[in-house]
Amino acid sequence: MDCCRSKTIFFRPLSLRNLLQEYMTWTKHHLAGKCDINHFQKNINPGKYATVWRAVHKKTGTAYAAKFVKKRRRNQDQMKEIIHEIAVLMQCKMTNRVIRLHEVYESITEMVLVLELAAGGELQHILDGGQCLGEVEARKAMKQILEGVAYLHDKNIAHLDLKPQNLLLSVQDCCDDIKLCDFGISKALMPGVAVREILGTADYVAPEVLSYEPIGLSTDIWSVGVLAYVLLSGFSPFGADDKQQTFLNISKCSLTFEPEHFGDVSSAAIDFIRSALIVDPRNRPSIHEMLDHPWISLKSNIPPTLHLKPCEHQNIQSNNITPKSTPITQRKSFACINDTGTVKSPGQRKNGFDTLSSTFTDSSSVPSDEEDGASLPENSENDDPLIPFLFY
């Protein structure tokens, strides 16, 4: 899979049609011919709108993760969202803390993103196995997560869906090399442009999302605090029997550190969590301030603990509740992009925790089109301001 090193394209704030035409020009130059990856071995992560397969290059034998993304969801064209995720991945090609994009292909119904394969799977799998991290291991993991988020924030990109399912391990049950993935609902932010959207995953969502206030880079900081709590305890800090109570706990920041789960956790780790979980996003630290926190910067003493420790009970489980997809058994060939698409405007805003409860689900990140019919508010300011992206 040779890279086209001489072709440079900058994304500009264009109309969708012009943007897709420019993307089409690059794709024809870069991906002429058929896909060289034609041996799909294993369904890694089946989902409602995207499925990840382990793919092997037919010439080199190199293994990749091939993410098949449906181009239409509930009769709405999703090309803009798919291209946005591709562009963000291209923008992050210089860091080892974000999963690497190698190639992009298209079939009639799907886009295929050929990604670096993280053989260790999701960080969530550790929690699903009845374990949480010892403090030394949790700090190591959080430092790498912060480094990845810092790279995004330095480019004014907010991930907006940080959770163990979107953190990949290079080696199973080992947190020595963690990579961020899934940028489907990320946002490229611009100064002075307010973005209000209902998105994210229920246990990790920030208060400003629930109250329909502007979201920003600080929205990720809240999720960082939730992540640290979950990795150290195996529990959600705000989880309840139903989503409405969970959202109420988040809005009030009803935060407790039960001795049975945090008895062997240092005060520095608890302070790290508290510093991130502040209701007013203006009062949260920046990502670089979080990296400088004594717990992360090795300025605090941590009691020795096991790398992994058992958790008797858990209320954070894998969010994947969708049926497995039919295995792919035959070769798929993918042509170059040859047309453009359109995106319909999202629906009108609905109010109240009843709407939020139906909008957020346990099964996945929630953009605008879950099966229950909940919709995002219509807001002309929500269109992603596309910053320049360099393609090789």
Angle between helices 217-233 and 135-154 (to 10 degrees): 170
Quickly list DSSP for 48-75.
SSEEEEEEEETTT--EEEEEEEESEETT
- Cβ pair 386, 203 in contact under 8 A: no
Which of 98, 227, 238 has its CA nearest to residue 163?
227
- Supply 245's token pair: 């109570």
The angle at the Cα of 219, spanning 90 to 128, to the nearest 5 degrees, equals 80
- Cβ pair 302, 293 in contact under 8 A: no
354 is catalytic: no
Strand residues in 5-148 grouped as ranges (E): 37-45, 50-57, 63-70, 72-73, 76-77, 101-106, 110-116, 121-122, 131-133
- Cβ pair 304, 245 in contact under 8 A: no
- Cβ pair 146, 99 in contact under 8 A: no
- Supply 242's token pair: 């139903």
Question: Of 2, 128, 154, 161, which is the active-site residue?
Answer: 161
Enzyme catalytic residues: 161
